[in-house]
Structure 1
Amino acid sequence: MRKLSVLIGTLSMLIGEKIRVIRESEDLTREEFCGLIDVPIGTLRRYETGRIENIGGEVLIKIVNHPRFFKYMNWLMTGKTNEAAGQISPSLSPDGPENTSSSQKSRKTGTQPG
C-alpha cells in the first residue's frame, strides 16, 4: 500500500509525523492532545510513529475542526499555508500554543509587513 505523505519543501512528511509536530508545537502531551480530539492514546502513538499510516478521515476532521488546531488545516492536508487566511504551519505559529492569529509582529520567519 502506498504511503500517504505530503511534500513539504524538499522533505516528505507522513500525516502522522505532521500530527506529532502540531501536538508538540502546541506543547501538549499525547494524553492532553487525545483528550481534546477524543482519540485513544495508543492510536495516536501509532499514528505518530508511523505504525498506522492510513489515518482515517474522521480523525483528521476531529483535529482540524478543533478550534486550537484549525489554523493548521491547510498545512496538515496539503503542506501549504495561507497566512492571510490564518492558515499556518507549526513553525509559523507566532506566539506558540493556542494562538490562532497570524500576527506580523511576532512572526518567527523574519518577514516584515508589506
Structure 2
Amino acid sequence: MTLSEKVKAIRKAEEMSKATFCKLTGIPLSTLDKYEMGKFEPSGTALTKITQHPIFMKYTLWLMTDHAAPEAGQIYPALSPDGHENIFNLLKSQKVGWLRKK
C-alpha cells in the first residue's frame, strides 16, 4: 500500500471528510485530492503534519512501517465501514485496532 493510499485509509477510518482532515492537518484540499487520486505521494512535511496531530498519532507506526503495536497505542486503521475497500489483504494475520475516545 502506498503512502497516499494509507493517508486515505486513515481519513476514512476516522470517518472524516476531506475538508475536516485538511483543516486538522493544514494540508491543502487540492493536495489531499492529488494524494487520494494517486497523482503523488505525501512529502515528509505532510507526513509530519498528519502524525503530529493527536487524532492521527495512533497510526504513525503503521503509516511509516506497515506495522502496529497496540500495546503502545499504535494501530492500523479499521476497514472502511461499508467493507468495499479491502485494504488489508496483506495484513490479514495482523491485529486491526480501533482506538477512539468517546
TM over 0.5: yes
Written as runs of structure 1 = structure 2, the 5 A alignment for 1:1-114 is: 13-53=1-41, 55-91=42-78, 92-94=96-98, 99=100
- Structure 1 unaligned regions, length at least 5: 1-12, 101-114
1:57 CA displacement: 0.6
Higher relative contact order (CA 8 A, sep 6+): 2
Which has more radius of gyration?
A: 1
RMSD: 1.3
Deviation string, structure 1 residues 18-39 (Cα, Å, up to 9, x no partner): 0000000101110110000001
- Distance in 1, matches of 2:44 and 2:38, equals 16
Kindly indicate which of the two structures has a greater share of residues assigned to strand: 1
For 1:94, give the aligned amino acid. W
TM normalised by structure 2 equals: 0.77
- Give the deviation of 1:49 after TM superposition: 1.3
Could you list the runs of 4 or more consecutive aligned residues of structure 1 that deviate by over 4 angstroms after TM superposition?
A: none
**Which runs of 5 or more residues in structure 2 are unaligned?**
79-95
Q: Percent identity?
A: 40
